[in-house]
């Protein structure tokens, strides 16, 4: 069975500082990995994905994520955080050879303070 772990319930960072939101995964085959963001009272918005190729993927709003196969991780990063980045972030995995189910982690709340 596939699974996703986000070890931090909350990440606090000062505006202008770099941020990292951690994610590790477990799948039987080759993973498709995703990051989503959720603002209050809204649905989840797609940020970026890794399917194949370059381990560093770039997405919306200046976010990027690094795929590390040996560590089974897919951490979300941004060089300089904005207060408006404060939201709930979800990591997700999909194994196209195992039914194509889309499984989410528990979410990490990012708080960026001015």
Contact residues: another protein, CB under 8 A: 32, 34, 36, 42-46, 49, 51, 90, 94, 96, 99-104, 106-107
Residue closer to another protein, measured from CB, 82 or 88: 88
Helix (H, G, I), strand (E, B) or coil at 86: coil
Of 2 and 19, the one with the shorter C-beta distance to another protein is 2
CB 85 to another protein: min, Å: 19
- Nearest distance in Å: CB 114, another protein: 26
Q: How far is the CB of 38 from another protein (least distance, A)?
A: 9
SS3 content of the chain, % helix, strand, coil (to 5): 5, 50, 45
CB-based contacts of 49, cutoff 8 Å, min separation 6: 32, 33, 34, 35, 57, 59
Q: Kindly report the number of other CB atoms within 10 A of residue 42's CB atom.
A: 10
- Give whichever of 72 and 103 is closer to another protein, judged by the CB atom: 103
Q: Decide whether 36 or 74 has the Cβ nearer to another protein.
A: 36
Give CA–CA dist 83/110, Å, rounded.
10
């Amino acid at each position: 069975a596939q699974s996703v772990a986000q070890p931090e319930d909350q990440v606090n960072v000062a505006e202008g500082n770099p941020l990292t939101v951690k994610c590790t995964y477990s799948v039987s085959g080759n993973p498709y990995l995703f990051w989503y963001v959720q603002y209050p009272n809204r649905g989840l918005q797609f940020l970026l994905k890794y399917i194949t190729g370059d381990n560093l993927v770039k997405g919306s709003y200046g976010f990027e994520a690094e795929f590390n196969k040996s560590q089974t991780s897919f951490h979300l990063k941004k060089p300089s955080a904005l207060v408006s980045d404060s939201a709930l972030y979800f990591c997700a995995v999909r194994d196209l050879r195992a039914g194509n189910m889309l499984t989410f982690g528990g979410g990490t709340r990012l708080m960026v303070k001015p």
